[in-house]
Amino acid sequence: MGASFQSNGAKYDMIRSVGSMVGSILIICLLHFLSREKNLQSLVLGKKGLTIVLVYLFVLYGVTTAVIFPERLPNIVLPYLLIFLWYLVAIGLLWVDWFTPGTISLKGIIFSPKELGIFALLIICATVVCSYFQQITYGILLVMFVSLMGAGVVLFSWSLISLLKQRISVGPL
């Protein structure tokens, strides 16, 4: 899936697609290296961390979109309002979940450096294939994109219902 999205984003230019994928794999390798001997609980953000992430996302999407693609910005208010409301829902869910008690346990290593190398080789090969077979890749990309939209609705609804059930059973804040 990543290979088809990467190839499409690079306009099926094989060198740009593979270069971009190699950059993504290097980021994954760096994060894998930095996360050794750490548990998942260390990834839980505090108020300061969540604030930093929210400011970063605002700058990343808000400012860069206005600078890079100003012609793609809508001229009416409704899209901005809908995006703002979705962000409020997401932040509200994070806020409610923040006070939900829970622990994360991880036993063993998720994947080894050898498995990461195999993954890197496979994903680079898939990127080359996706860049070469543009029409087939575009069809696969379209099917995956539509599937992801449906999966997003299902996962969001399931998360919301699970969180609300948990909050109701735990009691009010």
Kindly report, residue by residue over 152-164, the tens digit of the pLDDT: 899 888 888 887 7
pTM of the model: 0.57
| Residue 34 belongs to domain spanning | 2-170
Count: domains in the chain: 1
Are 12 and 79 contacting, i.e. CB atoms less than 8 angstroms apart? no
Instruction: Please provide the DSSP assignment of 134-167 as one string.
Output: HHHHHHHHHHHHHHHHHHHHHHHHHHHHHHHHHH
The answer, yes or no, to whether residue 107 has pLDDT greater than 70, is: no
CA atoms of 47 and 31, how far apart (whole Å): 23
pLDDT for the residue 97: 67
> What pLDDT, in 10s, does the model give residues 59-99?
887 787 777 777 878 889 898 898 888 888 877 777 776 65
| pLDDT averaged over every residue in the chain | 80
For 52-85, the DSSP string reads HHHHHHIIIIIIHHHHH-GGGS-SSSHHHHHHHH
Interval 117-135 mean pLDDT: 89
The confidence band for 102, taking pLDDT boundaries of 50, 70 and 90, is low
Tell me which of 105 and 85 has the higher pLDDT.
Answer: 85
C-alpha pair distances (Å), 42 with each of 36, 45, 103, 164: 12, 8, 11, 25
